[in-house]
Every structure is written in C-alpha cells, then in structure tokens.
Amino acid sequence: MTDALKISKADGILEVVIDRPKANAIDNPTSRELGQLFLDFLADDSLRVAILSGAGERFFSAGWDLKAAAEGEAVDSDYGPGGFGGITELFDRNKPIIAAINGNAIGGGVDIMVSADLAVAADHAEFWTPEVHVGVIADATAVRLPKRIPRAIALEMLLTGRRMDAEEALRLGLVNRVVPSAELMEAARALARDIVSAAPLAVASTMEAFRHGETTSLADCYAAMKSRAWPAHAAMVDSEDAVEGPLAFAEKRAPVWKGR
C-alpha cells in the first residue's frame, strides 16, 4: 500500500481517502491500488459500505493525472480491476459505495462520483468535465450522466466543460446531500450507518435488483426474481434474516442480522 490512500475500517464501514497533493489526481498505480482495495471490500463480509473521499478541502479529485499522461501513460491505459479509480467498471457490486465530495470533482473525479452509488457533497464543491479541451472523453460520465440529470445539461457539461455547483447538483439529483465542509464525513458516515443497520442480504438483493432494473424490462425482472435467477435475491429469500426481520417486528425488538 502506497501513501496515496488513507484507509480506515470500523463498524462495517470502509473509509478511503485519496491523498495525492496537489489535486488528488489518479495515475495508473493509484487506480490499480483502489481497484484491489474495492475488490477486497466486496469479498470481506465484515464490511458493508465504503466511503471514498479526498484529502483537503479544495479537490475531491482532479481525475486523470495529466502529468502521468504527459510522461507517456496512455488514454486507454489498463487502470486495473474496476476500471479508473477502481470503480468505473465495478459493475456487479452488491455493496454500496458513497462518494464524499470534499472539494472540486474534475474530469475523472466526476467519473468516480457518478460511478458511486450515493454522494454527499461539501457546499463549496463544484463539478466539471474539461476532457474535450484536452483531446479525450469523460467516458464514465458520458455514459452515466445522461441517466442522472436532464439530457441537455449533461451534454452541455460534457461538450463545453461548464461547471455545476453543489446546490445545482442537489437540485438535479446528482448528489444526495449538500452540507458544510466540516460536516461532510459525518453526513457520509450517517448515511453509511443507516445502510449498515439494515439486513445485509436485503441490501445486496436491493442493489442487484436496482442494477438489473436499469437495463431490464419490468416483466423480465419479475420473472427473474420468481425463478430465483438472481443470486443475491435467491439468497435473501431463503435466509434466516428473512425470518428474523418479521419476527423482530412482531416481538417489538431490534432484529439481529446474521447475514445468512
């Protein structure tokens, strides 16, 4: 593990802070490190939610490290498991990742934000994608942003690099919360704790169903669930937790989740 990432784990929550002065830009080695970290997170049953943020208050991430690019790192470089930032191609995850946007998200920083499942932003944060002005594409953002905000605004951002502030991002539904900078991590942790308090198999099943629902017809989704074609859903239906939840409600007590 390099000094580029600061990592902590507690109460089912993995926290990762990108710490690469001056702008938390991501080169190939850092991306690969993030990718392995997220693969380990998905495989670790003791971890339920991840929070990804940046060091300082000015930059969440400036995205692709243009200095590394100038030194020969290719546009289509293999950024390792999970794609750029370890997250843009981490498609089938059943654990949520929260982006805690501590400052400006630029280019690949926006790629990472829109590839996360939830986002909390500091009130001074701004988002923009200047890639067309340096001869490349904001690939993850180009694909994901039009599904998240109005088409015309998404295209304007992608084609002109215009900036969006935190309040506009909240109004358009690009982020879940906007808070003062000093409250950012606690807001992200509160969101994570709400998820950790839920049944783990139910969360995994919900993530799985949500993912399929974005690309599959309603009828096909129901058919898949009824036939138990989705692994996380099938595991949830047959679980001890599916019995424990209604029992705890009837007995007016907190449920004790076992994750099985």
Q: What is the residue-averaged pLDDT of the chain?
A: 94
Q: Are residues 121 and 239 in the same domain?
A: no
Of 148, 163, 27, the residue nearest 99 (C-alpha): 148
- Whether the pLDDT of residue 66 is over 80: the answer is no
pLDDT, mean of residues 237-246 = 93
- Contact (CB, 8 A) for 46 and 35: no
**256 located within any domain:** no
Does residue 41 register a pLDDT over 90?
yes
Distance CA 8, CA 38 (A): 13
Looking at the chain, the whole-number percentage of residues with pLDDT higher than 90 is: 88
The confidence score (pLDDT) of residue 8 equals: 97
134 and 26 both lie in a single domain: yes
Output the pLDDT for position 190.
98
Confidence at residue 76, expressed as pLDDT on a 0 to 100 scale: 61
Banded model confidence at residue 48, pLDDT cuts 50, 70, 90:
very high
CATH number at residue 46: 3.90.226.10
Residue 61 lies in a domain: yes
From 196, 217, 241, the end of a domain falls on 196
Sign of the CA dihedral with 108 first, then 110, 111, and 115 last: positive
Same domain, 192 and 205: no
| Confidence band for 168, pLDDT divided at 50, 70 and 90 | very high
Looking only at the bridges linking them, the beta strands covering 49-54 and 97-101 are parallel
**113 and 191 share a domain?**
yes
Residues 69-128 have pLDDT tens digits of: 666 655 566 788 899 999 999 999 999 999 999 999 999 999 999 999 999 999 999 999
Q: How many CB atoms lie within 10 A of CB 45?
A: 10
Distance, first Cα to last Cα, the chain: 32
pLDDT at residue 58, rounded to an integer? 96
CA distance readout (Å), 183 to 13, 134, 190, 194, 255: 18, 34, 11, 17, 30
Verify that 77 and 115 share a domain, yes or no. yes
pLDDT at residue 184, rounded to an integer: 98
The answer to whether 130 and 23 have CB atoms below 8 angstroms apart is no
pLDDT for the residue 3: 86
- Same structural domain, 140 and 222: no
111, containing H or E segment: helix 108-115
User: Exposed, middle or buried: residue 163 (CB in 10 Å: 0-12, 13-18, 19+)?
Assistant: middle
What domain range is 239 assigned to? 200-250
**Contact of 13 with 47, CB cutoff 8 Å:** yes
